[in-house]
Structure 1
Amino acid sequence: MFQLNRDSLKLGGFAGLREHQIVTDSRLFGSRKPSDTSEGIGNFVYLADARFNPKGETRMHPHSEIDVISVMVEGRVAHEGSLEHGKSLEEGDVQVQRAGGEGFSHNEVNPDDTRNRMLQLWVLPEQPGQPAGYKCYSPESGKTTRIYGGRQGESDTFDSHTTIDIVHLNAGDTTELPKEALVYVFAGEGLISERDETVAVKDGDLIRGDHLKMETVKGVSLIVVSDA
């Protein structure tokens, strides 16, 4: 089992935010990949844990042939861009933008006078040249919500063999992950096991393992990425 904590990594950032880059896959970053960051899994290639400064923003910038997922952990952002301009993300919401060959431009803005926190994930599309698209989710407490991946023809999520779930567990809950997974803890704490090995995990921990079992202490929130 592999474990990496966010706070062991260099704090960087750009424009109006500061972030820890936790996953920077070699397929995307090549020689620019920081050696202490994790590789991805499947088509999942990037994870950053960011805090926007008060009134901070990313500034308008383009993407193409990448799927961009934003998880609002604390506070809110105002979304601007070529997809769903004017949309607001509240705490707990998840935004998924598929750039495809068409591409999109966006700017995420913290409208408040206090810092917020947002996770951003990137996934490479399996088929190039797809149309741009937008989806938004509000995962519920105590449940697992699929926010990315699935079979072609489904409308609930963008299709991919790489799947991403938001898992919110209450105190005392357990969950089992039946195959290799990359797990990021973004709230709470618990114990995670792989066969005979058990480690304590908390907010900011990234875990990679096979057939993992998660037990909560005071409730926990996870991003779980796996590949079919």
Structure 2
Amino acid sequence: MKTLNYSDLPLGGFAGLKEKRMVTDERIFGPHKHPKAFNGLGNFVYLADANFLPHGETGMHPHREIDVISVMVEGRISHAGSLEHGQSIETGYSQVQRAGGEGFAHNEINPDSSENQMIQLWVLPDNPGEPAGYQVFEPETGKLQHIYGGSVSQTERFYSKTSIAVANLQADQSISHPGEAMAYLSKGYGTLNGESVERRTLFRVDNAIEFTASEDAQLIVIYPTQIAGE
């Protein structure tokens, strides 16, 4: 198991937020990739752990041919833009935006007078030219909730050969996942594959993940999509 801690990387940011970029895949960032940051897995190419300043915002900006997944760790975000303008996501919620060939513009805003925490992930599309789309997932506590990826035939999530799942857990709750994966413990403490682990740590495993929370925790898992018949 390979690990990367939040403290291992320099603090950056832009506009109204500060962040550390834990995954900056060389396919996207090339020579600008920080040497300690991990490469992605499958079409997953980016993970940033961000704290928005009080009433901070990203500013309106566009995306095209990328899927943008935002997971709220603490606090809330008000979403503005060309997709579902006015939507709000709160602690534990996940927001998924598919840019496709159509593209979208958005601004994520902290409406509160205290800092929040949000994880943003990027996944390259399997196929170019898709229409833009938007989904929000309410947290399901105590389970590994699949929010992104799956076969083209299913309609619950945006299809992709790379999947993302989020576990919002209470103390002593456990989740498991078989096979190769990357995982980010965005909140809390616990035991992962027999080792004590702390928040804001990124993991890359070859075989399986077994995680038990010691307190309220959030674990994000990225893995190759399992599609029946393939």
TM-score in terms of structure 1 length:
0.95
Per the TM alignment, residue 76 of structure 1 is displaced from its structure 2 partner at its CA by: 1.1
Deviations 1:79-122 (A, max 9, x none): 11000011111222111000000000000011111111111000
Q: Is the Cα–Cα contact under 8 Å of residues 9 and 36 in structure 2 kept in the other structure?
A: yes
Task: Please give the alpha-carbon distance, in whole angstroms, between the structure 2 residues aligned to 1:100 and 1:133.
Answer: 8
Per the TM alignment, residue 7 of structure 1 is displaced from its structure 2 partner at its CA by: 1.9
**Structure 2 SS opposite 1:29:** helix
Pairwise mapping of residues 68-147 of structure 1 onto structure 2 (< 5 A)? 68-147=68-147
Task: Please give the alpha-carbon distance, in whole angstroms, between the structure 1 residues aligned to 2:202 and 2:94.
Answer: 19
Task: Please give the alpha-carbon distance, in whole angstroms, between the structure 1 residues aligned to 2:134 and 2:190.
Answer: 33
Residues 1:167 and 2:167 are matched in the alignment: yes
Aligned equivalent of 2:228: none
Task: Please give the alpha-carbon distance, in whole angstroms, between the structure 1 residues aligned to 2:180 and 2:167.
Answer: 16
Residues 1:205 and 2:216 are matched in the alignment: no
Which has the higher mean CA deviation after the structures are superposed, 128-137 or 160-169?
160-169
Partner residue of 1:221 out of 204, 210, 218: 218
Task: Please give the alpha-carbon distance, in whole angstroms, between the structure 2 residues aligned to 1:77 and 1:203.
Answer: 21
Q: Is the Cα–Cα contact under 8 Å of residues 190 and 219 in structure 1 kept in the other structure?
A: no
Task: Please give the alpha-carbon distance, in whole angstroms, between the structure 1 residues aligned to 2:136 and 2:223.
Answer: 20
Q: How large is the RMSD of aligned CA atoms in angstroms? A: 1.1
Task: Please give the alpha-carbon distance, in whole angstroms, between the structure 2 residues aligned to 1:199 and 1:15.
Answer: 37
Which structure 1 segments of 5+ residues have no match? none
Aligned-partner residue type, residue 55 of structure 1: H
Per the TM alignment, residue 192 of structure 1 is displaced from its structure 2 partner at its CA by: 1.4
Per the TM alignment, residue 188 of structure 1 is displaced from its structure 2 partner at its CA by: 1.4
Task: Please give the alpha-carbon distance, in whole angstroms, between the structure 2 residues aligned to 1:65 and 1:170.
Answer: 36
Task: Please give the alpha-carbon distance, in whole angstroms, between the structure 1 residues aligned to 2:125 and 2:66.
Answer: 6
Change (3 A) 1:92 1:212: closer
Aligned-partner residue type, residue 93 of structure 2: D
Task: Please give the alpha-carbon distance, in whole angstroms, between the structure 2 residues aligned to 1:75 and 1:169.
Answer: 17
- Deviation beyond 4 Å, 4+ runs, structure 1: none
Aligned equivalent of 1:15: 15
Task: Please give the alpha-carbon distance, in whole angstroms, between the structure 2 residues aligned to 1:42 and 1:166.
Answer: 18
